[in-house]
Structure 1
Amino acid sequence: MPWAAAAAGLLLAASSVLLPAATSGLAASEPTRGSASGTVLTAASEASEASEPSLSVAPATLTPLRPGDDLAVSVTVSNPTSAEIGLGTVEVYLAQRALTTRTAVEDWLAEAESTTRGDRLASVPTTGVIPAGTTVTFPVTVPAASVSLSALNSWGARGIAATFEAENDTKIEGRGTFVWFLDDEITPVNLSVLMPITTPESSAGLIPAIALEAYTNDSGLLTRQLDGVIDRPVAIAIDPMIIASIRILGSSAPASAVAWLDRLSLASNEIFPLGYADADPAVQSQAGAAAVLAPISFDPLIDPSLFVTPTATPTTPADGTDGTSSEAPAAEDAQATTTPPTSADLLAWEYTRTDIAWPGAGAVARDDLDFFAASGLTTTVLSETNVTRSEIPTPNAVVALPTGTGLVTDDALSDALHTAAMATTDATWTAAMAEVASRLAVVSAEDPSTARTLVATFDRGWPQSADRVGQTLEALSGILWETPATLQSALGAPAAEDVEFNAGVEPDSQLGPARALLEREGELTAFSSVLADPLTITAPARLELLALLASSWADQASNWRDQVTTSLAASAETLQAVTVTTRGPVQVLGSTVPFPITLNNTFDQAVTVRVQVIPSNGRLIVDSDVDTTIDPNSAKAITIPVSAAIGNGDVTLRVTLFTPAGTTIGESAPIAVNVRADWEGVGAAIFAALVVAFFGFGIYRNIVRRRKERAEREAAGELPDPTSPPTTPPTTAHPLTVQPRG
Structure 2
Amino acid sequence: MDSLLIFSPRGRARFRAAAIAAVCAVLVMCGLPTPAAAAEPGPVPATVASAEQQDDEAPPLALALGDDGVVTGSAFDAAATVANTTDADFRASDLRVSIGDALADNEAIEAWLDGSGGTARTEIASIPVEEIAPGESSSVSAPVPTGNIPSGVYPVSAAYGGATAPITTRSIVIVTGDSPASVAMVVPITGPVAVAGLYSASTLGTLTGADGLLTAQLDAVDGTAAVLAIDPSIPASIRVLGSAAPATARAWLERLMSLENDRFALQFADADVSPQIAAGLDAPLAPTHLGFALEQATIDASDDPITLSSLTRIDDDAAPTVYWPSPGSATDDTVSTLVGGSAARVLVPASATDDGSAVLGDDALAYDDALSDALLDAARMSDAPTRARALTVAKAEIWLAAEQSGGPLLLALDRMGSDDLTTDDAGTEIVDGELDLSAEGLDEAIRAALDTPSTSHVGLDDVLAAGSGHVGVAATTEDPLREQAVVDYRAAEPGLAHIATALARPDHFLGQVRAEAQRLLSVSWATNPEGWLTRAEDFVALNADRAVAIDIQELQQPVQLLSAEAPMPVWIRNDLPYEAKVTVIATPDDPRLSIDRRTEIIANPDSVTRASIPIEARVGSGDVTVHYTLQSATGERIGPTRDVAVTVRADWERIAVVALAVIVAGLFGSGIFRQVRRRKRERVESHSDDDIRGESA
C-alpha contact 2:99 2:155 (8 A) present in aligned 1: yes
CA distance change for structure 1 residues 355 and 228 in 2, over 3 Å: closer, same or farther? same
CA distance in 1, matches of 2:170, 2:641: 72
CA distance in 2, matches of 1:10, 1:551: 43
Structure 1 residue 480 corresponds to structure 2 residue 487:
no
CA distance in 1, matches of 2:473, 2:365: 12
Among 334, 340, 361, the alignment partner of 1:399 is: 361
CA distance in 2, matches of 1:253, 1:4: 49
- Is the partner of 1:265 in helix, strand or coil? helix
Deviations 1:574-600 (A, max 9, x none): 33322354368989xxxxxxxx99663
Structure 1 residue 180 corresponds to structure 2 residue 173:
yes
Structure 1 residue 489 corresponds to structure 2 residue 444:
no
Structure 1 residue 156 corresponds to structure 2 residue 114:
no
CA distance in 2, matches of 1:70, 1:580: 84
How far did residue 154 of structure 1 move? 5.6
CA distance in 2, matches of 1:266, 1:577: 44
C-alpha contact 1:584 1:673 (8 A) present in aligned 2: no
Which residue is equivalent to 1:276?
Answer: 268
Deviations 1:227-283 (A, max 9, x none): 221232111111111211222222223222222222222222112111111111223
CA distance change for structure 1 residues 67 and 232 in 2, over 3 Å: closer, same or farther? closer
CA distance change for structure 1 residues 254 and 584 in 2, over 3 Å: closer, same or farther? closer
Quick one: which amino acid aligns to residue 431 of structure 1? R
Structure 1 residue 257 corresponds to structure 2 residue 249:
yes
Residue correspondence of structure 1 range 585-604 to structure 2 within 5 A = 600-603=572-575
Structure 1 residue 471 corresponds to structure 2 residue 433:
no
Is there any run of 5+ residues in structure 2 with no aligned partner, and where? 1-9, 31-52, 83-97, 122-138, 158-168, 418-434, 560-567, 590-596, 616-624, 647-697
Structure 1 residue 361 corresponds to structure 2 residue 327:
yes
C-alpha contact 1:157 1:177 (8 A) present in aligned 2: no
- Is the partner of 2:260 in helix, strand or coil? coil
- Is the partner of 2:572 in helix, strand or coil? strand
C-alpha contact 2:241 2:293 (8 A) present in aligned 1: no
CA RMSD in angstroms, aligned pairs only: 5.3
Residue correspondence of structure 1 range 181-200 to structure 2 within 5 A = 181-182=174-175, 185-200=177-192
Equivalences, count = 533
How far did residue 186 of structure 1 move? 4.0
Deviations 1:87-129 (A, max 9, x none): xxxxxxx9997532356557889x9xxx9545599xxxxxxxx
Among 379, 384, 387, the alignment partner of 2:350 is: 384
Residue correspondence of structure 1 range 276-675 to structure 2 within 5 A = 276-289=268-281, 291-308=283-300, 341-348=306-313, 349-351=315-317, 353-373=319-339, 378-389=344-355, 397-400=359-362, 405-443=363-401, 446=404, 451-462=406-417, 463-468=435-440, 469-493=442-466, 495=468, 499-503=471-475, 506-582=478-554, 600-603=572-575, 605-608=579-582, 629-632=600-603, 633-635=608-610, 665=638
Quick one: which amino acid aligns to residue 534 of structure 1? P
Q: What TM-score, normalized to structure 2?
A: 0.62
C-alpha contact 1:383 1:408 (8 A) present in aligned 2: yes
Among 78, 100, 105, the alignment partner of 1:101 is: 105
Larger fraction in helix: 2
CA distance in 2, matches of 1:505, 1:663: 44
CA distance in 2, matches of 1:496, 1:159: 37
C-alpha contact 1:186 1:444 (8 A) present in aligned 2: no
- Is the partner of 1:600 in helix, strand or coil? strand
- Is the partner of 2:439 in helix, strand or coil? coil
Structure 1 residue 16 corresponds to structure 2 residue 16:
no
Which residue is equivalent to 1:210?
Answer: 202
C-alpha contact 1:95 1:116 (8 A) present in aligned 2: no
How far did residue 522 of structure 1 move? 4.0
C-alpha contact 2:229 2:265 (8 A) present in aligned 1: yes
CA distance in 2, matches of 1:564, 1:279: 14
Deviations 1:144-186 (A, max 9, x none): 9xx9x9769765335799xxxxxxxxxxxxxx9953345x624
How far did residue 639 of structure 1 move? 11
How far did residue 486 of structure 1 move? 0.8
Deviations 1:46-97 (A, max 9, x none): xxxxxxxxxxx999984258978879899xxxxxxxxxxxxxxxxxxx9997
Deviations 1:489-508 (A, max 9, x none): 111125268x4332456412
CA distance in 1, matches of 2:16, 2:183: 23
How far did residue 290 of structure 1 move? 5.0
C-alpha contact 1:201 1:553 (8 A) present in aligned 2: yes
Q: Percent identity of the aligned residues?
A: 25
Which residue is equivalent to 2:69?
Answer: 63
Deviations 1:288-331 (A, max 9, x none): 4453222212234323334545xxxxxxxxxxxxxxxxxxxxxx
C-alpha contact 2:101 2:120 (8 A) present in aligned 1: no
Quick one: which amino acid aligns to residue 345 of structure 1? S
How far did residue 363 of structure 1 move? 0.4
How far did residue 484 of structure 1 move? 0.7
Quick one: which amino acid aligns to residue 464 of structure 2? L
- Is the partner of 1:248 in helix, strand or coil? helix
C-alpha contact 1:601 1:630 (8 A) present in aligned 2: no
CA distance in 1, matches of 2:222, 2:341: 29
CA distance in 2, matches of 1:670, 1:6: 88
CA distance in 2, matches of 1:661, 1:288: 30
- Is the partner of 1:408 in helix, strand or coil? strand
How far did residue 478 of structure 1 move? 4.8
Among 234, 237, 261, the alignment partner of 1:242 is: 234
CA distance change for structure 1 residues 231 and 521 in 2, over 3 Å: closer, same or farther? farther
CA distance in 2, matches of 1:305, 1:150: 68
How far did residue 476 of structure 1 move? 3.6
